[in-house]
Amino acid sequence: MAVIPAIALLCAAGTSHGQTAPGTVVNNQIQLGDVFATQVIDVVSATEGVSAQTAATGNGLVGSTEGVDLNLRSNQTMAGSAVATTTVNATGELGDSSQINTIAIGNALEAGTTQATMVGVLTQIATASPQVTARGMLEADTAEAGDVGLATTAASNSVSLGLTNGSAGVLVNQTNGASVLADGGAIVGYVSGTADVSGMASGNTMSLIGTDSSAARAVVYQSNSAALTQASQFTAYGTVQTASTSATASGNVAATANEGPLLDLTATQFNQAYVRAQAEGTAYQFGEGAATAYGVGNSVLAGNSGDAVVLENVQLNTGGGVEAIASFAGADGYDGYARATAVGNDATGYACSACNGSMAVDSRQTNNADVGATATTNIGSGRVINSTSTAVGNNASFYVTRPGS
C-alpha cells in the first residue's frame, strides 16, 4: 500500500537545486553480534571537571551533501544487543563543570543536504535484537561539585534528517522488537550550581528539521512490538542549589519541523510495548528541586513556520500501557516540583498565520491500553511546592499561529 505513494512522493520532491549530477548512496548493514561499551572513572580530585562519553551503536550511517542532490537507499538490520555503561566514582572535588553522556543505539542514520534535494528509502529493523540499554551513574556521595550534567540515551532505531535551503522526499520504515532501557542517576554530597540528570528511551524515533526556505515530504511507518521501553533516573543530594531529574520514554516518535513553503507528513504508528518513564529525586537541602516524567506510546509532530502543513496520521497504542512516575522529596529548601505526564497517542500540527499559512489534517487515534500518571512531592520545609499529574488516552493539537506566540 505504501509503495505507490512513496514513488509519487519521491518524484514530486525534485526542485531546481539539482543542477549537478546527484550523488547515490546504497547502504546495507547487518549486525549479528552484541555491541557493548563500558567506561569506569575513579576521581579523587578534578579542578575543572570530569568529561565522559560512552557510546554503543550496532549500525551507523552519516552522510550529507552541499549543492549536490542525494539519492539514498539504506537498509540496517540489528540482531544483537547494544549496551553502553558509564560509571563515575568520585570522593573529593568534581570541579567547576562535569558532563557524563551514555548512548546506546541499535540502528542510527543521520543525513542532510544544503541547497539541494534529498530523496531516500530508509529501512531499520531490530525485530531480533534482545535489548538496547544505556546506563549512566555518578557515585559521589562525599564529593563536591559546581555544575553536573548526566545524560543517558537509548534508542533501538533512530533516523535524523536535516535540510538547509533544500528539499526532501523520504520514506522511512522502522520496526523494533528490542526492549529499550535508559537507566541511571546520581548521588552527590554537595552541588553549588546546577545538577541536570536526564534519561531518554525510545523504540523508534525519526526527526526532520528544515530551515531557510526548505520543503519536505515524508512517509513514516513505525512499529514497536517490544516488551519494554523505559527511561528511569534516580538522584540523591546532600545539598544542591538547582536539581533537575527527568525521564522521557516513547514507543514511537515522528517529529518534523520546517521553515519554508511545505511540510507534508504521512505517519503510521503502532506501539504495543509497556512504556514507563520514572524520575525520582531527593535532597536534604535544596534551592530548587524538580522531577519530571513523560511517557507516550505514539507521538507525531508536524510544524511549519512557513506556508503549509499537510498531515495524515494513524496511531494505535495497545499492549502493556503507558506509565509516568515523578517524585521529589526534600527536607529543607525553597521550591520543589514533581510533574508526571502519560499519553497513549499524541499528535501536534502547526503552521504560520503571518505567512498566510494553511493546514490540512486527517488524524486517527486509537488507544487500547491503560495510561497512568503519578506525581509525589514531599517537602519538610519549603517556599513553593507544586505537583502535577496528567494522564490522557488520545491527545491532538492543531493550530495556525504567529511565530513566537
Q: How far is CA 132 from the centre of its chain?
A: 14
| Cell triple for 176 | 523494533
Encode pLDDT of 24-43 as tens digits. 999 999 999 999 999 999 99
Whether residue 355 has pLDDT greater than 90? no
C-alpha span between 384 and 335 (Å, rounded) = 5
Whether residue 13 has pLDDT greater than 50? no
Neighbour-count burial of 277, counting CB atoms closer than 10 A to its CB (0-12 exposed, 13-18 middle, 19+ buried): buried
* pLDDT of amino acid 8: 32
Encode pLDDT of 60-97 as tens digits. 999 999 999 999 999 999 999 999 999 999 999 999 99
Q: Which residues are CB-contacts of 146 (< 8 A; sequence separation ≥ 6)?
A: 49, 94, 95, 96, 97, 98, 191, 192, 193
* pLDDT of amino acid 357: 77
8 sits in which H/E element: helix 3-12
What average pLDDT does this structure show over 221-250? 98
User: Which band of pLDDT confidence, cut at 50, 70 and 90, is reported for residue 308?
Assistant: very high
User: Which band of pLDDT confidence, cut at 50, 70 and 90, is reported for residue 402?
Assistant: low
What average pLDDT does this structure show over 263-288? 98
Q: Give the count of domains, the chain.
A: 1
3-state secondary structure of 136: strand
Least confident of 13-27, 157-171, 250-264: 13-27
Query: In angstroms, what CA-CA distances link 139 with 41, 86, 215, 321?
Result: 10, 11, 47, 32
* DSSP structure class, residue 21: P
Whether residue 2 has pLDDT greater than 90? no
pTM score above 0.85: yes
User: Which band of pLDDT confidence, cut at 50, 70 and 90, is reported for residue 19?
Assistant: very low
150, HSE (Cβ side, Cα atoms, 13 Å): 31
Q: Tell me the residue type at 137.
A: M
Cβ–Cβ contacts within 10 Å for residue 163, how many?
A: 27
Q: Which domain holds residue 113?
A: 3-401
Encode pLDDT of 43-64 as tens digits. 999 999 999 999 999 999 999 9
User: Which band of pLDDT confidence, cut at 50, 70 and 90, is reported for residue 254?
Assistant: very high
3-state secondary structure of 5: helix
